[in-house]
Each structure stands twice: as structure tokens, then as C-alpha cells.
Amino acid sequence: MKAEIARLTKQAHDEGVSVEILIELVEACSESGAQKALHAVGLHDADAGQDIADLRTLLGSWRSAKTIIGRTVLTWLTVSALTGLAALAALKWWHSGGS
């Protein structure tokens, strides 16, 4: 892409277009493209900044929830395994006469 831009810039300059005009043209096209991209994803209005902040907050909450759920499942599995071991030990002790 950079090579293509360099080639087109050189061609335009060779044909008499000033570098300053080319830079202005590229900046205007870039701005227009950015505006179109923001409009396409619904971030073209004055609330766009708040929308992005809300999405970041939502993403942070989702990550926290995943961590909490993971820890809860791990705790549940650990408690279940220890409860099973305790039940087996009690059963073995009970079958051996309790002493």
C-alpha cells in the first residue's frame, strides 16, 4: 500500500501537482473514509464516545464475570472432591467397625 501511494504521489508530482495539494487530498480522503467507517458501525453521532466507554465497561464486567465463574466452578469441584473423599473415608471407617 505504501509503495502504491509513493508511486501515485510521484506520478502526480511529475504531472505538475504539488506535494502540498496531494497531502491535502490524502488528508481529506482519509477523513472522509474514517467518517464513512464510523457511520457504518454506528459511531458517527455525538454519543459515540460514551458508547465506546460503555462497551469498555461492559467488556470489563464480562471479563470479571468469567473470572468469578471460573473460580466458583473450581471451588465447587474442589469441595465436591473433598466431600467425596470424606464420605469414602467415613464409609470405610463405618464398615471397619467404627474404631
Tell which wins on pLDDT, 9 or 53: 53
Tell which wins on pLDDT, 60 or 3: 60
Cell of 77: 469441584
- Cα–Cα nearest to 22, from 32, 11, 33: 11
Residue 99's pLDDT band, with cuts at 50, 70 and 90, is: low
Tell which wins on pLDDT, 12 or 48: 48
Task: Give 56-92 pLDDT, tens digit per residue.
Answer: 999 999 999 999 999 999 999 999 999 999 999 999 9
CA 2 to chain centre: 28
Whole-number Å distance between alpha carbons of 25 and 14? 16
Report the pLDDT value the prediction gives residue 69, as an integer from 0 to 100: 98
Residue 98's pLDDT band, with cuts at 50, 70 and 90, is: low
- Cα–Cα nearest to 35, from 43, 24, 47, 27: 43
Of the chain, the percentage scoring pLDDT greater than 70 comes to 97
19-40 helix and 2-14 helix, angle to the nearest 10 degrees: 140
Cell of 82: 473433598
